[in-house]
């Protein structure tokens, strides 16, 4: 039954329907869908055929350093040093296994990211239009496409109104391809761009609407193949990943030089060559933080999952980093800062009647209960003709429906309909036939319909609702309840505008309503004021972000008064502040807009086309900007912003596709949570970089110094490999998943170019490494008093190093806060990782087979007590340093201060 897109394009729809055994009006039945699912499976792809695990595992042995180590094991066998050979091999297996598990986890968490935003579709089944996941589709399903949708499968169109589809991802064409339903005569060798009656999976509807029949799904969909190739593309590395790769390379280079030097020195000193070689290579394995990029990737990926739990879906890894650098957030008002739950609270008619809508306790939102009161009288169906006229226009020029208290359609229209219910006027729509509609759009800011009474006893009339300015411009008369409409005068216009401004100042969204025989000669009927309260918690979120030095800008299509009223309530605007309108923006060029944009917190009467200019003006000032959007026309601005933020509930697929981040609940506070996570992740990455660097430097220095002073090697090759596991493995990783410190949100945004390795971080690394090296060397020297090197000596030195490392990890959990504030048990992964490492260490010391591998000996309890007292110094010194820094910071508020590893740029806060 699978049809190729080429085949279907050349076939008329009737034939296609019979081949696919479906119905254009009622679609497939549920039973048939189940049967076809059994046959065709889900509409999805296996993106990459996974390599078998054993192959991946063996792949780990391709690392040149591991190969060198294996070579030294082979040489040991050749020299009949079987013990050494077994030890090295076991140690290699442990190292490789830990690396493998980590890489596997990193892959899995990256894979999980691609499943965060499953595409949906609108499909007719059993005669009903339903919305569900696109993976549920089977061949023969009937799909409805409308503006902003993503095409969920390859579809042969049988209905297309003004349909244009963006196929740029396949064809590179930036202009949307216009689609029709006609049969194509020559379909052979036609590329995607010539198949005008087929919509391809993964493309986006830019304009119009249409319907179509699903052809092949999943693996058998023809053009899904192209889509699959695109999906399988390796995502680009994040700047942090790139800089970690570079850092890794630099460190490798230095390590190799030092290790070369050590081996050369050892050779001159006449040490055993194979020993020196094995130690050198193990040191290379340990000192080179090859795990660094993996730990960064896993940390970022885990951060993305954590953000998803907090209702922010980040689509690309680099965005996690950028989030911590966002300096300006431009946010739509309706639905993001406000609830988008609209209620009409005031009606003002052209003949100066003022009515308050009392929705009662339960009547807020789309409840049909409540009363409308005018001059202390309850407004009934026909008691106040001018109010009835206003509501009549509101109902006729309206596409919303309220079914059992649930709204289907736009909230603004829902509010008008709910108001009509309160006056028993909701059925008015049935009394008219709609002849034509001019839908609302945010450029024209009005909606109009042309209707005629169903009983044909009246003329065709235009009913219009929209923002006050366009309606006033087209109004030539105003409605009076008794007599003919009166010509509108300048004075009257000013009066109506004043009333609108009055409503707006109370934070109401104002709609003007009018009717007439022609669109250029309307009769103004009145105004309604709609309340859309700010979301809970947004004021606090706004305050927190502003105090951290992030600028917030509110963008709205509403009027100046409404915008200012809501912005003031949210603490975004102080009286006397400047606002810009869409018209003002039109009149400025980018550079003059850039100059003043820092001072503008509110933009009113803006439409999507202004957003792009605002983004560019901000970026011109070198600032990182986040921009929200939901409509098809917002896509350009979302793409050009450093972080495009789409709305999960009200957003179109086009905006979601263009965005970098999706707010599942459309809520502004979610942006704050995401920024908090973004900043926190950066600190976590710094933490484990500090940990890995100090361990790596300590290990290198230890061996270098002992070689330079002609001491025997304090650690053998296996022990060095064990240290590598701790450094690159679970303890380092667990620092990356440290719960986000909620105070980070109060810190200023990071500068995008700020390096990870700052001077204060290096100082911390050097202090820790110096303590570890001196302590370990001292233990080694103390143990070697008998001038003979025994397993006990290296066991003590080895355990000393490992314990130092554990305490070092503990102090790396925060660069600023004391462990008492952070909490010993707040990072479960850390407890598990360190606990696991300690148990491993005990096994290495006490478990005979491992004793053999690592050439260790059992220690006494007193040894442990001694070692714990000694190694905890690295932790206490770090805590003392943090304490002094905290005290200094609160005392001296210099322009630039550094706390822990972080430099604060106070200029940014001004
Ligand atoms: P945002 O804040 O998300 O940018 P907004 O709701 O503030 O959006 P628009 O939706 O562009 O901005 O609305 C601008 C103005 O257009 C409103 O103040 C209102 O007067 C009018 N308006 C809004 N929705 C409709 C509609 N469905 N029909 C007619 N007029 C509308």
Q: What is the DSSP string of 708-760?
A: HTTPPPSS-HHHHHHHHHHHHSHHHHHHHTPPPPGGGGGSPPPPTT--SS-HH
446 CA distance to ligand 1 centroid (A)? 8
Angle at 105 between CA 103 and CA 106, to 5 degrees: 65
Q: Which of helix, strand or coil describes residue 643? A: strand
Residue nearest to atom 3 of ligand 1 (CA): 334
Pairwise CA distance, residues 130 & 682, whole Å: 42
Atom of ligand 1 nearest to the CA of 465: 29
Pairwise CA distance, residues 182 & 203, whole Å: 20
Atom of ligand 1 nearest to the CA of 337: 2
Atom of ligand 1 nearest to the CA of 510: 20
Low-confidence ranges of the chain (pLDDT < 70): 1-2, 46-50, 64-65, 81, 102, 106, 109-117, 169, 172, 186-193, 220-239, 241, 288-291, 359-365, 892-910
Angle at 582 between CA 205 and CA 537, to 5 degrees: 80
pLDDT for residue 897: 45
CA distances from 904 to 62, 327, 749, 754 (A): 44, 14, 9, 11
The full 3-state SS of 305-335, as one line of letters, equals HHHHHCCEEECCHHHHHHHCCCCEEEEEHHH
Atom of ligand 1 nearest to the CA of 554: 2
Ligand 1 pocket check: which of 333, 417, 558 to mutate, most ligand atoms within 8 Å of Cβ?
558
Residue nearest to atom 31 of ligand 1 (CA): 466
Residue nearest to atom 12 of ligand 1 (CA): 557
Q: Which of helix, strand or coil describes residue 779? A: helix
Contacts of 708 (CB under 8 A, 6+ apart): 265
167 CA distance to ligand 1 centroid (A)? 30
Pairwise CA distance, residues 589 & 10, whole Å: 50
Atom of ligand 1 nearest to the CA of 468: 20
Residue nearest to atom 30 of ligand 1 (CA): 466
pLDDT for residue 751: 78
466 CA distance to ligand 1 centroid (A)? 8
Residue nearest to atom 4 of ligand 1 (CA): 556
C-alpha radius of gyration, the chain, whole number: 35
605 CA distance to ligand 1 centroid (A)? 9
Contacts of 15 (CB under 8 A, 6+ apart): none
Residue nearest to atom 9 of ligand 1 (CA): 557
Q: Which of helix, strand or coil describes residue 603? A: strand
556 CA distance to ligand 1 centroid (A)? 8
Catalytic residue of the set 141, 275, 332, 805: 332
Contact between 674 and 323 under an 8 Å Cβ cutoff? The reply is yes
* Paired residues of 462 in beta bridges: 450, 516
Contacts of 334 (CB under 8 A, 6+ apart): 340, 509, 532, 556, 557, 558
* Paired residues of 343 in beta bridges: 531
Contact between 108 and 101 under an 8 Å Cβ cutoff? The reply is no
For residues 68, 71, 75 and 77, what is the CA-based torsion angle, rounded to 10 degrees? 130
Atom of ligand 1 nearest to the CA of 559: 18
Angle at 679 between CA 677 and CA 682, to 5 degrees: 105
600 CA distance to ligand 1 centroid (A)? 21
pLDDT for residue 50: 64
pLDDT for residue 900: 44
Angle at 84 between CA 81 and CA 90, to 5 degrees: 140
Atom of ligand 1 nearest to the CA of 562: 18
E strands, 594-724, are 602-604, 625-629, 643-647, 661-663
582 CA distance to ligand 1 centroid (A)? 14
pLDDT for residue 899: 44
Give the CA diameter of the chain: 118
312 CA distance to ligand 1 centroid (A)? 25
E strands, 391-431, are 401-403, 406-408
Residue nearest to atom 19 of ligand 1 (CA): 467
Q: Which of helix, strand or coil describes residue 513? A: strand
Around 858, how many Cα atoms within 13 Å sit in the side-chain half-sphere? 6
Pair of tokens at residue 134: 């696109």
Residue nearest to atom 20 of ligand 1 (CA): 467
158 φ, ψ to 5°? Answer: -125, 0
Ligand 1 pocket check: which of 332, 336, 556 to mutate, most ligand atoms within 8 Å of Cβ?
556
pLDDT for residue 246: 75
Atom of ligand 1 nearest to the CA of 557: 12
532 CA distance to ligand 1 centroid (A)? 12
Residue nearest to atom 14 of ligand 1 (CA): 557
pLDDT for residue 832: 93
CA distances from 827 to 291, 585, 739, 740, 810 (A): 21, 49, 6, 10, 11
Tracing tokens 């254009």 back to the chain, one arrives at 24
Residue nearest to atom 17 of ligand 1 (CA): 558
Pairwise CA distance, residues 502 & 902, whole Å: 49
Query: Residue 627 gets which letter from DSSP?
Result: E
Tracing tokens 């630039």 back to the chain, one arrives at 896
558 CA distance to ligand 1 centroid (A)? 6
442 CA distance to ligand 1 centroid (A)? 7
Pairwise CA distance, residues 374 & 559, whole Å: 26
Burial class (CB in 10 A: 0-12, 13-18, 19+), 812: buried
408 CA distance to ligand 1 centroid (A)? 17
Ligand 1 pocket check: which of 412, 514, 532, 668 to mutate, most ligand atoms within 8 Å of Cβ?
412
In sequence order, what DSSP letters do the residues of 657-671 get, joined into one string?
Answer: HH-SEEETT--HHHH
Contact between 326 and 625 under an 8 Å Cβ cutoff? The reply is yes
Contact between 179 and 197 under an 8 Å Cβ cutoff? The reply is yes
Pairwise CA distance, residues 711 & 709, whole Å: 5
Q: Is 332 a catalytic residue?
A: yes
Residue nearest to atom 18 of ligand 1 (CA): 558
Query: Which residue, among 684, 819, 701, 682, has the nearest Cα to 766 in the 3D structure?
Result: 701
Residue nearest to atom 6 of ligand 1 (CA): 334
Ligand 1 pocket check: which of 467, 610, 663 to mutate, most ligand atoms within 8 Å of Cβ?
467
Atom of ligand 1 nearest to the CA of 563: 7
Ligand 1 pocket check: which of 390, 401, 466 to mutate, most ligand atoms within 8 Å of Cβ?
466
Atom of ligand 1 nearest to the CA of 333: 2
Ligand 1 pocket, CB under 6 A: 332-335, 410, 412-413, 440, 442, 445-447, 465-467, 509-511, 555-558
Ligand 1 pocket check: which of 393, 469, 556, 557 to mutate, most ligand atoms within 8 Å of Cβ?
557
147 CA distance to ligand 1 centroid (A)? 18
pLDDT for residue 114: 61
Contact between 202 and 229 under an 8 Å Cβ cutoff? The reply is no
């Amino acid at each position: 039954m699978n049809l190729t897109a080429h085949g279907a394009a050349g076939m008329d729809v009737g034939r296609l329907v019979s081949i696919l055994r479906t119905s254009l009006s009622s679609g497939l039945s549920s039973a048939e869908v189940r049967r076809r699912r059994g046959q065709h499976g889900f509409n999805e792809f296996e993106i990459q055929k996974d390599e078998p695990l054993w192959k991946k595992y063996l792949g780990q042995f391709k690392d040149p350093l591991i190969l060198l180590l294996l070579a030294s094991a082979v040489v040991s066998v050749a020299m009949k040093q079987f013990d050494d050979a077994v030890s090295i091999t076991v140690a290699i297996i442990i190292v490789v296994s830990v690396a493998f598990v980590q890489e596997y986890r990193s892959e899995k968490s990256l894979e999980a990211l691609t499943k965060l935003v499953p595409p949906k579709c609108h499909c007719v089944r059993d005669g009903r239009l339903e919305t569900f996941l696109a993976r549920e589709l089977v061949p023969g399903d009937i799909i409805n496409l409308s503006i902003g949708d993503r095409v969920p499968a390859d579809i042969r169109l049988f209905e297309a109104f003004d349909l244009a589809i963006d196929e740029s991802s396949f064809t590179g064409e930036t202009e949307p391809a216009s689609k029709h339903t006609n049969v194509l005569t020559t379909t052979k060798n036609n590329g995607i761009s010539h198949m005008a009656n087929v919509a391809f999976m993964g493309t986006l509807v830019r304009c119009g609407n249409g319907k179509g029949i699903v052809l092949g799904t999943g693996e058998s969909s023809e053009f899904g193949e192209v889509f699959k190739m695109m999906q399988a593309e390796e995502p680009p590395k994040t700047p942090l990943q790139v800089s970690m790769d570079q850092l890794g390379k630099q460190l490798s280079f230095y390590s190799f030089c030092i290790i070369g030097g050590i081996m050369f020195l050892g050779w001159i000193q006449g040490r055993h060559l194979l020993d020196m070689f094995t130690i050198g290579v193990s040191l290379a394995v340990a000192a080179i933080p090859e795990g660094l990029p993996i730990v960064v990737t896993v940390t970022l990926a885990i951060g993305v999952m954590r953000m998803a739990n907090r209702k922010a879906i980040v689509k690309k890894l680099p965005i996690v980093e950028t989030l911590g650098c966002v300096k300006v957030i431009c946010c739509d008002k309706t639905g993001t800062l406000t609830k988008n739950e609209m209620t009409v609270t005031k009606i003002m008619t052209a003949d100066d009647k003022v009515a308050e809508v009392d929705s009662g306790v339960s009547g807020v939102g789309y409840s049909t209960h409540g009363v409308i009161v005018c001059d202390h009288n309850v407004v009934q169906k026909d008691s106040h003709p001018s109010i009835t006229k206003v509501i009549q226009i509101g109902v006729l020029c309206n596409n919303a429906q309220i079914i059992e208290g649930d709204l289907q359609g736009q909230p603004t229209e829902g509010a008008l309909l709910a108001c009509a219910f309160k006056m028993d006027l909701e059925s008015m729509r049935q009394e008219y036939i709609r002849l034509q509609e001019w839908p609302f759009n945010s450029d024209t800011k009005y909606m109009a319909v042309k209707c005629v009474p169903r009983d044909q006893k009246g003329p065709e009339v235009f009913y219009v609702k929209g923002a006050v300015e366009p309606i006033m411009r087209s109004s030539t008369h105003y409605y009076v309840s008794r007599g003919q409409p009166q010509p509108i005068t300048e004075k009257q216009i000013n009066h109506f505008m004043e009333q609108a401004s009055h409503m707006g100042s109370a934070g109401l969204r104002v709609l003007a309503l009018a009717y007439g025989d022609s669109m250029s000669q309307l009769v103004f009927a009145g105004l309604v004021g709609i309340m859309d309260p700010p979301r809970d918690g947004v004021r606090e979120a706004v305050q927190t972000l502003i105090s951290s030095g992030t600028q917030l800008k509110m963008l709205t299509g509403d009027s100046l008064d409404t915008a200012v009223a809501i912005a003031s309530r949210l603490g975004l605007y102080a009286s006397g502040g400047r606002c810009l309108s869409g018209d003002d923006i039109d009149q400025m060029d980018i550079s003059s807009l850039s100059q003043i944009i820092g001072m503008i917190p509110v933009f009113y009467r803006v439409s999507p086309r202004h957003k792009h200019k605002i983004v560019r003006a901000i970026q011109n000032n070198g600032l990182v900007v986040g921009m929200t959007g939901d409509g098809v026309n917002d896509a350009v601005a979302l793409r050009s912003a450093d972080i495009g933020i789409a709305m999960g509930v009200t957003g179109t697929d086009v905006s979601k596709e263009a965005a970098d981040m999706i707010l599942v609940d459309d809520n502004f506070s979610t942006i704050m949570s995401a920024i908090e996570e973004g900043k926190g992740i950066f600190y976590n990455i710094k933490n484990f970089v500090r940990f890995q660097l100090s361990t790596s430097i300590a290990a290198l220095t230890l061996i270098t110094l002992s070689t330079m002073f002609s001491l025997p090697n304090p650690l053998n090759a296996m022990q060095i490999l064990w240290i590598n596991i701790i450094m690159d493995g679970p303890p380092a990783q667990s620092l990356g998943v440290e719960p986000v410190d909620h105070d980070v949100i109060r810190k200023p945004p990071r500068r995008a170019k700020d390096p990870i390795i700052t001077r204060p971080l290096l100082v911390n690394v050097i202090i820790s490494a110096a303590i570890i090296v001196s302590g370990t060397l001292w233990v080694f020297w103390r143990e070697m008093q008998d001038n003979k090197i025994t397993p006990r000596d290296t066991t003590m030195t080895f355990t000393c190093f490992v314990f130092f490392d554990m305490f070092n990890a503990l102090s790396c959990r925060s660069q600023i806060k004391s462990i008492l504030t952070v909490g010993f048990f707040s990072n479960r992964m850390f407890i598990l990782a360190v606990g696991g490492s300690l148990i491993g260490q005990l096994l290495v010391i006490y478990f005979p087979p491992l004793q053999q591998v690592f050439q260790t000996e059992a220690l006494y309890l007193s040894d442990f007590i001694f070692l714990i007292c000694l190694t905890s110094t690295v932790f206490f010194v770090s805590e003392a340093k943090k304490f002094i820094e905290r005290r200094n910071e609160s005392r001296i508020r210099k322009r630039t201060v550094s706390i822990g590893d972080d430099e604060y740029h106070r200029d940014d806060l001004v």
